[in-house]
Chains A and B, each alone.
Chain A
Amino acid sequence: MEYLNLTNLVLWIHIIFVVIWLGSDFVVFSLSMSLMNRNLPIDVRLDRAKLAQKFDMWVTKVFLATPFIGLTLAWLRWGSFEPLITLPWMNLKLILFSIILIMAVLLITGASGTVGVLQNIKDGEGEEEENEAILKKRVKDLAYPAITLHILLSLIIIIALVGSQMGMDMGGW
């Protein structure tokens, strides 16, 4: 029964949110990569782009909630935010998370417009080859920050798992 407390509940919400974030982001990533497949009918590609856009909204919501749940968790666990700065493993997590934030800004600033390009291909507006090239460039340009984000998030998960197993003096669980 000792295990059933608010801190552990928030910890599990934090873990579940990170899992949903990483999992949904993989779905958006693979849907986006499949948009370049010209063997697929244009309606299927357009549907996938719209689906990726909808999924991405959920990814954004979970991504935005995660750091504040993390701050709540820190407060519940330590009764102060100081360990976020004093514990080396938390510091490392924060550094990696700062790069994730930069990648998120890059993704958000370049994300819109994919559906529009596919709609142009479907409607026959403009040169088809030119539109396909625009689409390919857009998807590839966004793939780099997306992959970086996935790798960093995986590293953060590993650091959190290792850090939380350290002794109580190191802020372990």
Chain B
Amino acid sequence: MWILKVFWAEMILFPLIMLYFIYNSGTWEERSIIQNSTMIMYVLVLLVAIGGYLYVWNKGQNKGK
């Protein structure tokens, strides 16, 4: 389903965009706690999204067997 492909693309793309914005806003010491927390959260989103995609992909591969 095309919408699910868009979903996974966005789950990877959006955190990357956010991380790019935060990374360019200064160094770790220059940023506030809330800005650094936002950065950590989007790293987490990225990891969960990659994990989720691999889980669904693996499920699809096993179904095909």
Contact = CB atoms under 8 A, between A and B. Distances in A.
B58 to A, nearest CB: 11
A36 interface: no
A61 B7 CA distance: 9
Contacts of A57: 3
Interface of A is mostly: helix
Interface in B6-65: 6-7, 10-11, 14-15, 17-18, 21-22, 25, 32, 34-35, 37-38, 41-42, 44-45, 48-49, 52, 55-56
Contact of A99 (B18, B41, B49, B55): B41
Nearest to B49: A105
Given A85-B22, A108-B52, A109-B55, A98 B45 contact: yes
A25 B3 CA distance: 17
Given A98-B45, A105-B52, A108-B52, A64 B7 contact: yes
Given A57-B3, A109-B56, A67 B38 contact: no
A64 B49 CA distance: 14
Interface string A91-108: 110110011011011101
Interface string A101-128: 1101110110000000000000000000
A81 B21 contact: yes
Interface residues of A, number: 25
Nearest to B42: A98
A165 interface: no
A172 interface: no
Given A57-B3, A85-B21, A104 B11 contact: yes
Interface of B: 3-4, 6-7, 10-11, 14-15, 17-18, 21-22, 25, 32, 34-35, 37-38, 41-42, 44-45, 48-49, 52, 55-56
